């Protein structure tokens, strides 16, 4: 069928979307989310169909194109295109197989991952894939197959140096911004650290959000390699480079209903680490009520799986099971966390000691794993590098290479509006909920408002007097500040004894 193009001036991201009037849909026997092949001269594209019931939106004889389709076909309003029915990608059959409890091999996983990257699968079809992996858990072979498929469909960073180290935290603990402290410590010891990090999805800040307070974090792979060549390390946003690109699209589907299938979690982490050619990897699994992993049994299971799969990828891995029962550090939110990081690196008296202790322990383990410190002496060496100022000097090198914005913690601006949560009686802190603290920090505007968030004056076990502040909320908007305060009252994040 020949139809005239209508530019509807909407961008969808993925996949390609076209809209036709219901009368034309009936003629072609098309239904919502069917695929059509659209040809304009020598160019063609396959798009998902949406159907307009109103002639006002898309009249008969016209086909509405989203921006991505216009770009793909180099088309504009008024062009004539040929539209015909297209078959579903064959990878949909593999998804059905998994839904029925079948096992997928590497070729089947690869076809699914390639179609995700090429925007051939709809969000509904990717959701079924995620659901299938959740209901019928991936076994070891399938997880390895998915990991390798993710690696082989993206770019890979290669280095002549050895070792190449990386670290990853499973997440779920507010604050816990150890990466920007660990990276300069181990880089100062001569270890290559190509660190890519994520932005926040459900937390008040991801490592990339926090680093963005201090420097630029979005770089193409070529620039990323240049930064590493100069400084031995980088701290960049993973979304700006094409490493295991299917992962980000899968995560977006998982987020709305908080699905996190175990096999996909493992594949997601390890694919990105292998994509930067990591030879040595430290995994942090925090365990505690309100953290992502709440039971020791599940943490131990994940630890064993990481160890098994890493062997197949030729990555030496060490897994730490840590205390995730309360936030780590004092600041929660990009600017407040960035301030904590620089306090620690500068050995400032205002530094949060729990964040310092954990970062030094992690850096020590990587130094031992990488052969830069003898067994049992890694922590001592990490502490020497931190105390000597070498770690801060290395951080300044990295920041400069990444177009530094701020290098002094006292130059970091936090939001001007504040609310103090005070103690109702003389007591001590019994518990602090990671999930509820994170909810309140996001209510205040973090991470979009870089200066918003929460500063913890007290931690579990600390004494507090009646009327003394337990935490301070920062926000740049009075409405959001009130909302954060109401959130803390409705969902008490801090419990007193």
| pLDDT above 70: percentage of residues in the chain | 100
- The rounded mean pLDDT for the chain is 94
Q: What pairing do the DSSP bridges indicate for beta strands 316-323 and 280-287?
A: parallel
Residue 303 has a CB neighbour count (10 Å cut-off) of 17
**Same-domain pairing of 130 and 182:** no
**Same-domain pairing of 430 and 491:** yes
| Token pair 């700006």: residue | 240
Band of pLDDT at residue 252, cut at 50, 70 and 90: confident
379 assigned to some structural domain:
yes
Final residue in a domain of this structure, among 394, 409, 424: 409
473 assigned to some structural domain:
yes
Residue 120 is predicted with a pLDDT of: 87
Domain count across the chain: 4
Least confidently predicted of 20-34, 184-198, 377-391: 20-34
Q: Return the CATH number at 104.
A: 1.20.970.10
Residue 291 is predicted with a pLDDT of: 84
250 assigned to some structural domain:
no
Report in angstroms the alpha-carbon separations of 346 from 175, 249, 328, 388, 409.
Answer: 18, 38, 18, 9, 9
Residue 189 is predicted with a pLDDT of: 98
Asked if the model's pLDDT at residue 258 lies above 90, the reply is no
Residue 242 is predicted with a pLDDT of: 84
How far is 128 from 111, CA to CA, in rounded Å?
15
Residue 63 is predicted with a pLDDT of: 96
Bigger pLDDT: 240 or 302?
Answer: 302
Band of pLDDT at residue 126, cut at 50, 70 and 90: very high
Asked if the model's pLDDT at residue 259 lies above 80, the reply is no
Residue 200 is predicted with a pLDDT of: 87
Report in angstroms the alpha-carbon separations of 395 from 63, 234, 342, 418, 495.
Answer: 53, 9, 9, 30, 37
Residue 195 structural domain: 165-240+258-409
Handedness of CA 331, 336, 337, 340 (dihedral sign): negative
Token pair, residue 176, equals 């816990």
Asked if the model's pLDDT at residue 145 lies above 80, the reply is yes
* Segment 425-430 mean pLDDT: 96
Final residue in a domain of this structure, among 382, 409, 436: 409
**Same-domain pairing of 338 and 471:** no
153 assigned to some structural domain:
no
**Same-domain pairing of 66 and 31:** yes
* Segment 438-443 mean pLDDT: 96
Helices 334-345 and 179-188 cross at an angle (nearest 10°) of 30
Final residue in a domain of this structure, among 63, 86, 109: 86
Q: Return the CATH number at 66.
A: 2.40.40.20
User: For 13-37, how does the pLDDT look when each residue is reduced to its tens digit (9 = 90+)?
Assistant: 777 899 999 999 999 999 988 999 9
**Same-domain pairing of 470 and 369:** no
**Same-domain pairing of 345 and 380:** yes
Q: Return the CATH number at 202.
A: 3.40.1030.10
Report in angstroms the alpha-carbon separations of 224 from 125, 195, 216, 309.
Answer: 34, 10, 11, 27
Q: Where are the alpha helices (DSSP H) in 118-164?
A: 123-135, 140-152
Q: Return the CATH number at 436.
A: 3.90.1170.30
Give the closest residue to 202 by CA, choosing from 443, 421, 414: 443
Asked if the model's pLDDT at residue 446 lies above 90, the reply is yes
How far is 426 from 424, CA to CA, in rounded Å?
7
Asked if the model's pLDDT at residue 308 lies above 90, the reply is yes
User: For 103-112, how does the pLDDT look when each residue is reduced to its tens digit (9 = 90+)?
Assistant: 999 999 999 9
Residue 16 is predicted with a pLDDT of: 87
* Segment 395-399 mean pLDDT: 98
149 assigned to some structural domain:
no
**Same-domain pairing of 311 and 446:** no
Check if the beta carbon of residue 276 is closer than 8 Å to that of residue 196: yes
**Same-domain pairing of 369 and 317:** yes
152 assigned to some structural domain:
no
66 assigned to some structural domain:
yes
Q: Please identify every residue annotated as catalytic.
A: 260
Handedness of CA 346, 350, 353, 355 (dihedral sign): negative
158 assigned to some structural domain:
no
**Same-domain pairing of 174 and 226:** yes
Residue 251 is predicted with a pLDDT of: 83
| pLDDT above 90: percentage of residues in the chain | 86
**Same-domain pairing of 82 and 104:** no
How far is 29 from 27, CA to CA, in rounded Å?
6
* Segment 188-194 mean pLDDT: 98
Asked if the model's pLDDT at residue 400 lies above 90, the reply is yes
**Same-domain pairing of 397 and 440:** no
Residue 241 is predicted with a pLDDT of: 87
**Same-domain pairing of 295 and 180:** yes
How far is 133 from 374, CA to CA, in rounded Å?
42
How far is 399 from 97, CA to CA, in rounded Å?
48
* Segment 148-164 mean pLDDT: 94
């Amino acid at each position: 069928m020949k139809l005239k193009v209508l530019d509807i001036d909407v961008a969808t991201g993925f996949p390609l979307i076209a809209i036709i009037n219901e009368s034309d849909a009936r003629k072609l026997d098309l239904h919502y989310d069917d695929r059509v092949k659209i040809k304009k001269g020598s160019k063609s594209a396959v798009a998902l169909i949406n159907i307009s019931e109103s002639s006002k939106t898309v009249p008969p004889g016209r086909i509405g194109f989203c921006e991505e389709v216009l770009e793909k076909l180099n088309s504009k309003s008024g062009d004539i295109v040929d539209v015909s029915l297209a078959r579903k990608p064959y990878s949909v059959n593999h998804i059905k197989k998994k839904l029925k409890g079948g096992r997928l091999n590497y070729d089947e996983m690869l076809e699914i991952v390639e179609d995700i990257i090429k925007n051939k699968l709809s969000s509904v079809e990717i959701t079924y894939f995620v659901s299938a992996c959740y209901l019928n858990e991936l076994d070891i072979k399938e997880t390895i197959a998915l990991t390798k498929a993710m690696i082989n469909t993206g770019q890979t960073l290669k280095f002549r140096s050895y070792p190449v180290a990386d670290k990853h935290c499973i997440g779920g603990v507010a604050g816990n911004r150890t990466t920007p402290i660990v990276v300069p410590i181990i880089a100062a010891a001569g270890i290559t650290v190509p660190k890519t990090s994520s932005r926040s999805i459900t937390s008040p800040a991801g490592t990339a959000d926090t680093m963005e307070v201090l420097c630029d974090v979005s770089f193409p792979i070529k620039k990323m390699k240049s930064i590493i060549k100069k400084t031995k390390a980088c701290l960049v946003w993973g979304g700006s480079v094409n490493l295991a690109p299917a992962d980000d699209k899968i995560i977006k589907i998982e987020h709305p209903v908080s699905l996190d299938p175990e096999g996909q979690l493992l594949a997601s982490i390890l694919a990105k680490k292998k994509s930067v050619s990591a030879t040595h990897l430290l995994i942090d699994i925090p365990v505690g009520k309100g953290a992502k992993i709440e039971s020791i049994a599940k943490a131990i299971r994940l630890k064993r799986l990481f160890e098994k799969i890493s062997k197949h990828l030729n990555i030496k891995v060490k897994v730490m099971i840590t205390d995730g029962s309360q936030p780590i550090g004092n600041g929660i939110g990009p600017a407040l966390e960035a301030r904590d990081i620089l306090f620690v690196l500068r050995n400032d008296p205002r530094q949060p000691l729990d964040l310092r202790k954990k970062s030094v322990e992690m850096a020590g383990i990587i130094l031992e794993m990488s052969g830069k410190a003898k067994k049992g002496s890694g922590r001592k060496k990490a502490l020497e590098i931190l105390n000597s100022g070498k770690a801060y000097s290395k951080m300044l090198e990295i920041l400069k290479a990444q177009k530094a914005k701020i290098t002094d913690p006292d130059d970091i601006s936090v939001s001007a509006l504040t609310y103090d949560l005070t103690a109702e009686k003389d007591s001590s802190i019994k518990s602090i909920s990671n999930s509820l603290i994170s909810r309140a920090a996001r209510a205040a505007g973090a991470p979009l408002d870089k200066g918003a968030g929460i500063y913890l004056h007290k931690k579990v076990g600390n004494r507090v007097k009646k009327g003394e502040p337990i935490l301070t909320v920062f926000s740049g908007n009075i409405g959001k500040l009130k909302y954060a305060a109401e959130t803390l009252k409705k969902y008490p994040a801090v419990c007193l004894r």
